[in-house]
Amino acid sequence: MPLPSRQRPHHRPARRRKAALLAAAVSVCLLAAAAPPAPLGVGDRLYPYLGNPGYDVASYDLSFSYPGTNDKPLQAVTTINARTTTALDRLNLDFAHGTVSSVQVDGRPAAFARAGEDLVVTPERPLREGTWTRITVRHTSDPVPAKDQDGGWVRTADGLAMANQADAAHLVFPCNDHPSDKAMFTFRITAPDGYTAVANGVPTGADRAGGATTWTYRTRHPMATELAQVSIGRSAVVYRDGPHGLTVRDVVPSADRTALEPWLAKTPGQIAWMENKVGRFPFERYGVLMAQASTGFELETQTLSLFEKQLFTQTAYPKWYIESIMVHELSHQWFGDSVSPRTWSDVWLNEGHATWYEALYADETAHKPMEERMKAAYGSSDRWRAAGGPPALPKAPAPGEKISIFRPNVYDGAALVLYALRQEIGRPAFERLERIWVQEHRDATAGTADFVRLASTVAGRDLSGFLQGWLYGEKTPPMPGHPDWKPTAAAKVTKAAKAERATKAGQTAQDTKAGSAAKTGGAVEVPARQ
């Protein structure tokens, strides 16, 4: 309430003015602290509440204690080291599926509350801009999914694995769950005797005590939260040498070790093939995790790609196709993992490149012509753009289907952009661009504008106008060198044919993240997949 005019001094001494300003500032802080917790985000167009402003994570230290069954919560401790980028009275973490028992900030107890899918932490003392802080959260990590919360832990026949793309890491542990904030990771997984725990990075210890083992792994390169991987199961860990002494580490069910060996043995040659295209493998090791689970997809978790074991043991797909899928996930280690998307609208840079090298591998090793596949993709491109948006401007995920951004427009539709670019600037310039791209942005994030700028530099001319239509246009531009390529109308399908197709899709569909996004129906339009 304002003072009556007769009580207002005309000239307030400087000391009293300073005291009044301090009191006002304290009042503002108290009001801010009293404001109800609210979910925040970094403003991603597709996932507006992912990530949080005000700090930059340097490292995560994650401890999980597995109870010996995959239908009960794991006890967990997440420690985050971060540097503030602004002064903070409170900070938000993404965390949506677990019970928090305590939070500490810099060793002192901190208040915490839920707000949407955020955990809002109020430290005992405000955090100043440009300072280091350590947040420790004791919590559970629940492998049983809640309603409308797919992703995170994957329950396998003998334990657990992780599938966090695109927005599910915060269903497993508190984090800044956006690829723009990459960090180093340490994993400590305690499991009963008889189980083997494996995670991203390199092993640094296995301490046995009281009928259990604590396995420790550390990454040597920063990683996005969506690429974290922890496998707990009755597993065999198989080592072999890759190119130039690179360690190849595979994780497979112990009982299937011998049967899966022919597939495991293919990885070193595939790495050598990729290195010949784009340069040295960007991480400390690589391998595949073959999980006894039905996920409907394969996933490029950093240094340890996740595959369904049945992809290799069933006869639904020819060998050349499975090998090309292996190369798809391998190529993500360069495109998507080492060079991560700055926003989720840049996902075409991940999936378009992985699809490109998948198709190129099939072309060079199995005589499945790239040009035929691209021509078929061109015919479907207008329909893909109408359904899912242009490659660099994908439509938002469908309600209740957060991973539905993974549509054909960011797989074969995005690979088609790369094909058009190669047609426009020539093979030598395109191959030079690819090598420079992964070198220049290694261990970092990059976006579409960065790619356009680099392509223009390598080509020696401004390509922004040429790429504008290919990346953002509602209609597919003419293909350089192929004036005869035309969009094709969608074939009319009878109800009986639709029913038959749906039945077959239910029996055999694999969303391999390999260009067609089978869950969205794109697989039937991609050539050379039978």
173: nearest Cα among 96, 69, 58, 72: 96
pLDDT tens, residue by residue, 419-447 = 999 999 999 999 999 999 999 999 999 99
| CA atoms lying within 13 Å on the CB side of residue 468 | 5
Separate counts of helices (H) and strands (E) for the chain: 12, 22
Rg, C-alpha atoms of the chain: 25
Contacts of 343 (CB under 8 A, 6+ apart): 44, 45, 46, 180, 447
Q: Looking at the predicted structure, is the pLDDT value of residue 228 above 70?
A: yes
Per DSSP, 209 falls in state E
Report the 3 state secondary structure along 55-124: EEEEEEEEEEECCCCCCCCEEEEEEEEEEECCCECCEEEECCCCCEEEEEECCEECEEEEECCEEEEECC
340-472 matches 37-233 in CATH topology: no
Q: Which residues of 397-415 are buried (b: 16+ CB within 10 A; e: fewer)?
A: beeeebbbbbbbbbbbbbb
Domain spans of the chain, in order of start: 37-233, 340-472
Residues 6 or more apart in contact with residue 204 via CB below 8 angstroms: 216, 217, 218
pLDDT digits (tens, 9 = 90+) for 20-67: 433 333 333 433 445 789 999 999 999 999 999 999 999 999 999 999
Reported confidence tier of residue 84, pLDDT bands at 50, 70, 90: very high
Distance CA 445, CA 345 (A): 13
- Tell me the pairing of strands 55-65 and 184-192: parallel
User: Selecting from 1.10.390.10, 2.40.50.140, 1.10.3720.10, 3.40.50.2020, what CATH number does the domain 340-472 have?
Assistant: 1.10.390.10
DSSP tag of 381: H
- The two tokens of residue 349 are 């840079």
Residue 374 has pLDDT above 80, yes or no: yes
When pLDDT is averaged across residues 343-363 and rounded to a whole number, the result is 98
* Confidence grade of residue 492 (pLDDT, cut at 50, 70, 90): low
Burial profile 485-496: b = 16 or more Cβ within 10 angstroms, e = fewer: beeeeeeeeeee
Residue 503: pLDDT band (50, 70, 90) is very low
Pairing outcome for strands 285-286 and 247-253: parallel
Query: Angle at CA 84, nearest 5°, toward 78 and 90?
Result: 70
Q: What are phi and psi of 21, to 5 degrees?
A: -65, -40
Q: What angle do CA 72, 77, 83 make, to 5 degrees?
A: 145
Which one-letter amino acid corresponds to residue 523? A
CA–CA gap between residue 141 and residue 243 (Å, rounded): 38
pLDDT at residue 224, rounded to an integer: 98
Selection from 49, 78, 81 nearest residue 63 by Cα: 78
pLDDT for 230-266, tens place per residue? 999 999 999 999 999 999 999 999 999 999 999 999 9
Predicted model pTM: 0.88
Q: Residue 380: what are its φ and ψ, rounded to 5°?
A: -95, -10
SS3 call for 303: coil
Query: So what's the pLDDT on residue 187?
Result: 98
Instruction: Please provide the CATH number assigned to the domain covering 37-233.
Output: 2.60.40.1730
Give percent helix, percent strand, percent coil of the chain, each to the nearest 5: 35, 25, 40
Q: What is the mean pLDDT of residues 175-182?
A: 98
Q: What does the alpha-carbon distance between residue 525 and residue 309 come to, in Å, rounded to a whole number?
A: 26
Lowest mean pLDDT of 346-360, 392-406, 453-467, name the range. Answer: 392-406
Specify the pLDDT at position 14: 38
Angle at alpha carbon of residue 408, lines to 406 and 413, rounded to 5°: 120
Residue 491's pLDDT is 61
Closest-CA residue to 344 (of 411, 393, 390): 393
pLDDT digits (tens, 9 = 90+) for 192-224: 999 999 999 999 999 999 999 999 999 999 999
pLDDT at residue 367 greater than cutoff 90: yes
Q: Do 472 and 392 meet the contact criterion of CB atoms below 8 Å apart?
A: yes
Which residue has 């990771």 as its token pair? 185
- Spell out the SS3 assignment of 469-501: HHHHCCCCCCCCCCCCCCCCCCCCCCHHHHHHH
